[in-house]
Amino acid sequence: MLSYQKEEKMNGTHKLAELFDQNPYMAVLSVDKDGRVLFINKTYLQVLGLKKEEVLGRPIIAITPHTKTAKVLSTGKAITAYNWNINGHQMIGCAVPMFKQDEIVGCFAYSISLNIWDSKTLVERLLSENNMLKDEVFKSHTAKYNFDDIVGNDKRILSAKLLAQQVAHQADTKVLVTGESGTGKELFAHAIHNSSARSQSPFVRVNCAAIPENLLEAELFGYEDGAFTGAKKGGRLGKFELANNGTIFLDEIGEMPLAMQSKLLLVLQEREIERLGGESSIKLNVRVISATNRNLQNMVDKGLFRQDLYYRLNVVQIDVPALRHRKGDISILAEYFLRKLNRRLMTPISSISGEAIDILNRYTWPGNIRELENVMERAMSLASMEKAELLGKRYFTFLCNKMNFTCPVGTKSLKVITQEFEESILTRIMEETDFNKVQAAEYLGIDLSSLYRKLKKYGIAVN
């Protein structure tokens, strides 16, 4: 009985080998654990232009030096659906390890050989699909803003804008945009891309603070099929690959964990990435623009940010000024947002009053331009409810209340009103001077010791 089963098994093996040997569409071979050829079919021999006795028993690497079987034998992992071009024959290959009792005993490799017509059709279809994919990537990753969207006449914003326009033409230069939240750092990144030679390629934004640390590497560099539990079937392109030939914008770069900083540094140095679960490097041509509202130099000093990465990112630094440092632009920005929001909100407001502008000028704008736009939208929404065409001061009452501009005299003494007003003025001046006490004292016309006493009296923080 055992002899019969053994004979049947041998017959089945021979029949399988015979089927492979006679298949004109597949080039098939198998090698032992040392990479020596055990079997090769007629189709593969024709592709190689060799006879069977010239191949059997020889190391496959001596016959086809770029064979994938050597890597399969060393890693124990299959390599599938790779492009295999040999002697002018275009094929799609697969190489899988063979195991016996959990030990690699060889490798089985096969390639599907296509005729000329099929190959041409396949290539054309793949090129067409590739172009469609590029179009979709470009549509979903496009920079929205230009330098015309950066509004203002203050010398600090004009200086930053001029530097950005100059560096835009240096398509490979890395740029670090710094400034407080809401100052318009992202506008600069968009405008630089749109004014560069990369403008027809993707602009991909990554918010480093919004992605969980355990997902950041996969998000940036992508992953292969089965790279980790829950990985998308077929794998996924990372942000760097999506941005290839274009620009990647790393927003909130100061929030990136130290471990991830090391991997980013390697990518910037080598100009290539390796997907999670991948075995080969992918060359990239990407411009990197990063932005932060934090002081990276201080973070470097404290060991919170890699010094070598800081130097890599900070080739050209553009400092975007806070709105409180460009008060002369507030009226210009208010008019700009008036026109912009009129179009979006379909409101009929034609102008903003001088009294309303005065209120805007008195505020310190901790949220900068983003806050100004929100304030304008709120005021315009209130005005449109009354079908008003002039945006007067009454629609900014919420901002006055926030600043304690008006106090109901009937419920407070003159002393209390005066103290509250003095506290609000001190707070505003300290913010406007970036808590520079000498400058604040000069601005208020008092000596430094008097300023210290008042700050202590009202419990105003000095840093």
Q: 303 and 234 share a domain?
A: yes
Last residue of a domain, one of 274, 293, 319: 319
Report if residue 445 sits inside a domain: yes
Q: Which residues form the domain of 257?
A: 147-319
Q: Are 53 and 137 in contact (CB under 8 A)?
A: no
Beta bridge partners of 27: 111
Q: 158 and 306 share a domain?
A: yes
> Which residues lie below 8 Å from residue 30, measured CB to CB, with a gap of 6+?
37, 38, 39, 98, 106, 107, 108, 109
Q: 267 and 365 share a domain?
A: no
Position of tokens 């209390």? Answer: 416
CA dihedral 450, 453, 459, 463 (to 10 degrees): 60
Report if residue 102 sits inside a domain: yes
Phi–psi pair at 407, nearest 5 degrees:
-130, 130
26-32 and 103-113 as β-strands: parallel, antiparallel, unpaired?
A: antiparallel
Angle at alpha carbon of residue 198, lines to 196 and 199, rounded to 5°: 75
What was the pLDDT predicted at 427? 80
Report if residue 28 sits inside a domain: yes
Number of domains in the chain: 4
Q: 429 and 372 share a domain?
A: no
H-assigned helices in 22-76: 42-48, 60-63, 69-75
CATH number for the domain spanning 102: value is 3.30.450.20
CATH number for the domain spanning 429: value is 1.10.10.60
Q: 175 and 308 share a domain?
A: yes
Q: Residue 285 has which token pair?
A: 């041509």
**Residue 441, number of CB atoms within 10 A of its CB:** 19
Q: 309 and 330 share a domain?
A: no
In angstroms, how far is CA 28 from the centroid of its own chain?
A: 43
CATH number for the domain spanning 371: value is 1.10.8.60
31 Ramachandran zone, left/alpha/beta (phi>0; psi -120 to 50): beta
Position of tokens 């996924």? Answer: 236
Q: 349 and 279 share a domain?
A: no
Q: Are 119 and 90 in contact (CB under 8 A)?
A: yes
CATH number for the domain spanning 291: value is 3.40.50.300
Last residue of a domain, one of 344, 365, 391: 391
Q: Rounded to an integer, what distance in angstroms lies between the CA atom of residue 434 and that of residue 437? A: 9
Report if residue 123 sits inside a domain: no
Q: 332 and 442 share a domain?
A: no
Run of H or E residues at 457: helix 448-458
Beta bridge partners of 26: 112
| Residue type at position 10 | M
What was the pLDDT predicted at 429? 82
Q: Rounded to an integer, what distance in angstroms lies between the CA atom of residue 409 and that of residue 427? A: 22
Q: 185 and 222 share a domain?
A: yes
Last residue of a domain, one of 319, 351, 370: 319
Q: 187 and 67 share a domain?
A: no
pLDDT along the chain (463 residues), means of 10: 45 61 83 92 89 91 88 86 77 87 88 58 52 52 90 95 96 95 95 94 91 87 77 80 92 93 93 85 92 94 95 96 94 95 91 92 91 93 88 86 55 69 80 81 84 83 63
287-292 and 390-391 as β-strands: parallel, antiparallel, unpaired?
A: unpaired
The length of the chain in residues reads: 463
Report if residue 216 sits inside a domain: yes
Beta bridge partners of 29: 40, 109
Percent helix, strand and coil across the chain, each to the nearest 5: 50, 15, 30
Report if residue 5 sits inside a domain: no
Q: Rounded to an integer, what distance in angstroms lies between the CA atom of residue 158 and that of residue 79? A: 55
**Residue 312, number of CB atoms within 10 A of its CB:** 18
Report if residue 134 sits inside a domain: no
> Among 222, 216, 220, 219, which residue's Cα sits nearest to residue 235?
222
Q: 313 and 332 share a domain?
A: no
Report if residue 96 sits inside a domain: yes
Q: Supply the DSSP symbol for 255.
A: G
Q: 84 and 174 share a domain?
A: no
